[in-house]
Amino acid sequence: MSYNQLVGIAVYLPTDSIASNQLHFATRDRFKAALQTGSLSDLRSVLESMRTSPDEILNRPSAWQYWDSGLNSMVTAYNAGYWHVIEYLAAQPEFNIVPPYWCRCENLTHHVARRAVETGETHELQRLVDLGWDVSAIGDQAWCSPALSLVTSNGTIVRWFLSQGVDPNVAGNSGDSAMVYAAREASLSSLVHLSIAGGRVEGTDLVAQAAIGHSWGRPGRFEVIEWLLERGAGIDVMAKESWKKPEEVEETMESTYGPIVLTFDHFLEADGGQTAFNVARIWGDRELEGFLLARGADPQIEAVRKEKILEFSRY
C-alpha cells in the first residue's frame, strides 16, 4: 500500500509504479529547485535527464511547464525575478510563452500584464514580444480572453497594446472583447482610446455591459453609459452571456486509483441576456433605473432566464 501524492489517497500500487512515482517526485523536486535558485546549469541537467528518460511521464513535454506544483514554470521564474531562466525556457522546444491550457490563471503573459497595469511600465511586455509573444494571441480554454482585456483599467498600457496593432474588437473564447471589459470596468479615457483605435460602439450591448459593471461596484459607469449612448450604443440591447458569482462545488471523479473529490469554482450565469434596465431592476438599483428611463430605456422588455436570476438573487 502506498500514499499517492498526486491524488492524496492511499492506494495499492505495483512495485514498479511505486518506483516510478518516486522517480517522478525526485525529478520534479530537482526541477523546482533549479527554478527557485535560477541555476541554468542545474536546469539544463534536469531537462536533459527528462528528455532522455525511458519513463513516459518524464519525457512528456506537455507536463513540464506545470511541474512546479501545478504552477507554470515560467511564472515561477518570473515571480523570482529570473528573466534569464524565462529566456532559457522560451528557447526550449518544450516550452511556450503562452501554453495551450490553463491560460487564464497561470499564464506568464497575464502575470506580466497585471504587473504592467499596477506599475504603468511596458518594458516587461516588450521583453515578451522580443521572445516571440503574439500580443493578439488567445488561448484555447473557454474562459480565455485577449491580453488587452486584462489591462483596460490602465490607459498607458492600453495605448501600448494598441500601438502593437491589437484589435479591440477581437473577442476571447467567452465572446467578450476588450470593449466589453472596458465598458464594465475601465475609465472613460481608456474606452475612448479603444474607440479611436476602431473599437465598435454603435448598436452594441455595451450599455448593458456598463450596467453590469455598475452592479459590481465599478465607479464611473454613469459617465461611461452617457458617452456610449451619445455614440449610438443601444440602450435596450441585451448583454451577451456574462459570468459572475463563483461558488465552490465538489465533484467526484473516478480514476485508476479510486474516487477523487475535486473542488473547483463553478460560475452561476447571472447578468447575461439582460438589458441595462433589467440589470438595474435585478439588483434593485433605483438610481440606475431612473438614469436609464430618463434616457429612453424600455421597462417593458421582459428579463430572460428568470430561474437563473432568482437563483442568483439568493446570494
Residue 266: phi and psi, rounded to 5, are -110, 135
Identify any residues that bridge with 68 across adjacent strands, giving them in sequence order.
71
**Mean of the pLDDT values across residues 298-304?**
83
Element (H or E) spanning 238, and its range?
none
Q: How far apart are CA 185 and CA 149, in angstroms?
A: 10
Q: Counting every residue, how long is the chain?
A: 315
Report the pLDDT value the prediction gives residue 32, as an integer from 0 to 100.
Answer: 84
Report the pLDDT value the prediction gives residue 279, as an integer from 0 to 100.
Answer: 92
**Nearest CA among 96, 93, 92, 94 for reference residue 109:** 96
Helices (H), the chain: 15-37, 40-51, 61-64, 73-79, 83-90, 108-119, 123-130, 155-163, 178-185, 188-196, 206-215, 221-230, 276-282, 286-293, 306-313
Report the pLDDT value the prediction gives residue 277, as an integer from 0 to 100.
Answer: 95
**Please, what are the domains in the chain?**
1-72 (no CATH), 201-315 (1.25.40)
Higher pLDDT among residues 47 and 68, named by residue: 47
Residues 94-111 pLDDT 10s: 777 765 544 444 578 888
pLDDT at 117 over 90: yes
**Mean of the pLDDT values across residues 122-140?**
85
Report the pLDDT value the prediction gives residue 96, as an integer from 0 to 100.
Answer: 73
Residues 287-298 pLDDT 10s: 999 999 999 999
pLDDT at 125 over 90: yes
Report the pLDDT value the prediction gives residue 63, as an integer from 0 to 100.
Answer: 58
